[in-house]
Amino acid sequence: MQATIPPKTLISPTKLGRRFHFRNRKNPSLSISAALSKNVTTPEAQDAIKRALAKKAVGLVKSGMVVGLGTGSTASIAIQQLGTLITQGKLKNVVAVGANYQSRVLARQYGVKTVDFNDINNIDIVFDGADEVDFNKNLLKGGGAAHTMQKVVDSMAKECVILADESKVVFQLGSTFPVPPDFKQLSSRMLVFWDTGGKKYNHNIAHLVDVLSLAVEVIPPAISPVLRRLVTLGGIPEIRSALRKDGPVITDLGNMVVDVSFPNGIENPADLEKSINLIPGVVDNGIVSGIATSVLVAIQDGDSVTVMNLEEYVKIVGVPSNANSTI
């Protein structure tokens, strides 16, 4: 799918997503001035971006298809739009498979028939969101603690289409960590303590701006050993706390979520994904490598939104000579 970009939407650095603007500590040449980081959009503009992405994705669905449902606010809008097309009779005999409670409920609410995951052999297309996407279509997911089952559904689909606004496209996953790992800027709010083999860390990174950490789903009895092993892999882990409930987030599968920041970013997503999943007690982590078949990127220009393939976006943005991209 090729989008034609009108000349007025050609990107200048000030239009680049905010994640490009933060310093890449390991590799400063991948950094763009932090002074440009105020690329603030309104909730209405965000909504328009998500709608444009959803429309493009749902346009790929054909009658008779088995559709995998994604998670997150962008995928939710796609589910709504899919329901509208089905209700209007523009799509027929479409069934959907939802990885998570939220997407299944939403689908039924909007008139999309859902089937049990174990009753189908293959999925034709899935559209899903992501928290970050790199130039090689590696993803960071797990903002909604729903990545484990979502990865199962995404991996089953012939076509896995990821919907991302340009602020989510990064040179390197997890590389927007704003503080050095000496924890100088740690807050006393919601301190999390644990013993990591003789060294005691106490910190809370969750409130710091633009930390994008890696979500790791962990079976609760194994939480302490897993935290220690994540530290040995160079990560700074923190148990995700629930909002409007005391204690940790508990996933749909009954597990805990640990958010792990890597001070140098994630240098080799596929390797780290495997290494973390080899830790006993880990269910799955939010790195998704080698599964996305296409990424749709939305760029906002004033009131208009342009959606294009990642490959086209990368051509416009340009790949830094030392960036690790196969595009």
Handedness of CA 19, 24, 29, 33 (dihedral sign): positive
- Closest distance between ligand 5RP and the C-beta of residue 286, in Å? 7
Alpha helices in 146-282 (DSSP H): 147-156, 223-232, 269-277
For residue 3, the Cα-to-chain-centroid distance in whole angstroms is 23
Nearer to ligand 5RP, 70 or 235 (CB): 70
Compute how many other C-beta atoms are within 10 angstroms of the C-beta atom of residue 233.
13
For residue 277, the Cα-to-chain-centroid distance in whole angstroms is 18
From 34-42, 126-134, 228-236, 247-255, give the range in contact with ligand 5RP by CB under 6 A.
Answer: 126-134
Q: Are 96 and 69 in contact (CB under 8 A)?
A: yes
Q: For 117, phi and psi rounded to 5 degrees?
A: -55, -35
- Closest distance between ligand 5RP and the C-beta of residue 143, in Å? 3
Q: Is 143 in the site for ligand 5RP (CB under 6 A)?
A: yes
Q: Is 132 in the site for ligand 5RP (CB under 6 A)?
A: no
Write out the binding residues for ligand 5RP, residues 67-86 only, by CB under 6 A. Answer: 70-74
Q: Is 131 in the site for ligand 5RP (CB under 6 A)?
A: yes
> At 317, is the secondary structure helix, strand, or coil?
helix
User: Closest by alpha carbon to 25, among 323, 213, 264?
Assistant: 264
Write out the binding residues for ligand 5RP, residues 234-293 only, by CB under 6 A. Answer: none
Compute how many other C-beta atoms are within 10 angstroms of the C-beta atom of residue 227.
24
Q: For 325, phi and psi rounded to 5 degrees?
A: -125, 140
Strands of 214-218's sheet, edge to edge?
236-239, 256-261, 214-218, 282-285
Write out the binding residues for ligand 5RP, residues 14-73 only, by CB under 6 A. Answer: 70-73
- Closest distance between ligand 5RP and the C-beta of residue 53, in Å? 9
- Closest distance between ligand 5RP and the C-beta of residue 313, in Å? 17
Total number of residues binding ligand 5RP (CB under 6 A)?
16
User: Closest by alpha carbon to 291, among 117, 68, 94?
Assistant: 68
- Closest distance between ligand 5RP and the C-beta of residue 142, in Å? 5
- Closest distance between ligand 5RP and the C-beta of residue 4, in Å? 25
From 15-23, 143-151, 170-178, 228-236, give the range in contact with ligand 5RP by CB under 6 A.
Answer: 143-151
Q: Is 217 in the site for ligand 5RP (CB under 6 A)?
A: no
Considering only residues 83, 129, 174, 248, which one is a binding residue for ligand 5RP as defined by CB under 6 A?
129
Considering only residues 144, 235, 269, 281, which one is a binding residue for ligand 5RP as defined by CB under 6 A?
144
Q: At what angle do helices 101-109 and 73-87 cross, to 10 degrees?
A: 30
- Closest distance between ligand 5RP and the C-beta of residue 165, in Å? 8
Binding site for ligand 5RP (CB under 6 A): 70-74, 128-131, 141-147
